[in-house]
Structure 1
């Protein structure tokens, strides 16, 4: 089969031949129909400090995918040949405290598809049956492969109810855009979004955001004042911080009303200072740290959101054959894209 492989400890990937996989007793082989690029993949492609410490070449990368089951091991009972599936990218241990108490999304020993084992940037991928998610045939592959990152947005947005609430989203990268679409479908009353890219703010309008502000050109004070006007002096019910930028983090805390909630999903590049007393304690707010998706409750929820009319197509901005992967990574570097999907 053909695959994108990190063959050496250096920038780039190699489009090369790899052995066709065979399933173990509890595994299935999936013919990949579509697979999407993620920020994690960009870290590996660029070979930054995180990738250097985490990846051990050779490794086929990629973890957001959908495809068709083409072979199963002798003990597989959850899927059959011909099933259309997506995959949970976190392979949990099932034995730690977190796994045994309903918190497998923060398993202490999890492994990640495309990081700790060979991933989905290939013609075929082999996976344990327990991470496979049967997907409605009504969802086309270019959208079905986005369910894994979409699950992050579902958890970030809906960790508490948003119905009738005013929501601020700081950061309109793909997950922030997904969160906006989820909030719209879930019945948020008003959605406000900030970013430094007019391109991504235009995508935010397409997924249902009511008010957009450019954090670079509009300025922090002007945005804060506008949010107070929009919320009649109260502040937003919920802030979803999706960028990891320190300024956006403070903006999220500042903009939420007393007694509101802040979701933290964006990953800062280093330590961030926080006025804990005035930004959190005295406001009596609730803070949720979000990593991955709740297994598998978030997947069931996003399936329901699709049935309720969730529209994420505007977030999908570019598609390429797998062999043209470099164009996708260049787009991510430029910031002039939403989600990029590759077709093996």
Structure 2
């Protein structure tokens, strides 16, 4: 059985043929799978880089239940987090170590079958071993935390005044990473009071939009209004990191970008180091993840889980768990 998004607004738990790992692959049983904003974009027909049908699931902690030919047998039974990037290894970004922007990038759960299933297959090179006993829900959240780690590493946050626009899962993780990396101050900006309360429960400052200025702004919403707010809120010479996913083109105030010498940089996914660092941050307690989980469902309850996740005023991280 696996989850199928056949077309926008149509999601089902359907029968699937048995999965068999090939050379270099492993067969995995997912233990915890998170639903993220990109999954909702797919469900709503707003993701710019997919075609249907889509087999979702990319935030996952899993157990290896079988390995294919040539795979080290020590992987059998391992507890792992999935890095869902499928890359070519040949293009210039791949050869330079920036495989997160591979020219032929596919991502499990979007352009390739994902992990929202009873079992799924992955290349072994995409698996990160977790310590036995590692919290499986945090294991599933290593993927979004790696997104936050990668974004924070794109600019200097130590000693800087930082704002994070958007108190969703990614925004709250970015804010915690910026704090762990020594930002002078971190303020989370969101219109929704419940999300601001979660930020405050994590020891973060949270507020509605105002006229404050910052050295670094992480835009974690993915909307034209949020990007314009970032441009208006950055100090001259500051840096804006675009982390939010945009479903359609936007208009920028390019005059201010030029006149204020604003840096504007995109952040996509992660690399191996970001996964290792995310695991360290969770294990050390410098970043908290469980407070972000608002809903839990059994894995086959994908329809109920997606309905809950769409209530953005109430839901943050919705987690699907193996029965």
User: What TM-score results when the alignment is normalised by the length of structure 1?
Assistant: 0.87
Q: Are residue 159 (structure 1) and residue 154 (structure 2) matched?
A: yes
Q: Are residue 339 (structure 1) and residue 317 (structure 2) matched?
A: yes
Structure-to-structure mapping, 1:82-101, within 5 angstroms: 82-101=77-96
Q: Are residue 296 (structure 1) and residue 272 (structure 2) matched?
A: yes
| 2:159–2:183 CA contact under 8 A, matched in 1 | yes
Partner Cα separation in structure 2 for residue 70 and residue 326 of structure 1: 27
Partner Cα separation in structure 2 for residue 135 and residue 254 of structure 1: 42
Tell me the C-alpha RMSD between the 2 structures: 2.0
Residue among 56, 59, 69 paired with 1:61: 56
Partner Cα separation in structure 2 for residue 49 and residue 338 of structure 1: 19
**TM superposition shift of 1:337:** 0.9
Match of 1:230 in 2: none
Cα 1:77–1:283 change in 2 (3 A) is farther
Q: Are residue 316 (structure 1) and residue 316 (structure 2) matched?
A: no
Q: What secondary structure does 1:13 align onto?
A: strand
Structure-to-structure mapping, 1:133-148, within 5 angstroms: 133-148=128-143
Q: Are residue 287 (structure 1) and residue 264 (structure 2) matched?
A: yes
**TM superposition shift of 1:50:** 4.2
Aligned length: 320
User: What TM-score results when the alignment is normalised by the length of structure 2?
Assistant: 0.92
Q: What secondary structure does 2:301 align onto?
A: helix
**TM superposition shift of 1:322:** 1.4
Deviations 1:144-185 (A, max 9, x none): 111112111111223223223211111111111111121222
Partner Cα separation in structure 1 for residue 59 and residue 158 of structure 2: 29
Cα 1:106–1:36 change in 2 (3 A) is same
Partner Cα separation in structure 2 for residue 261 and residue 10 of structure 1: 35
Partner Cα separation in structure 1 for residue 8 and residue 219 of structure 2: 32
Match of 2:28 in 1: 30
Match of 1:232 in 2: none
Structure 1: runs of 5+ lacking an equivalent? 216-222, 228-234
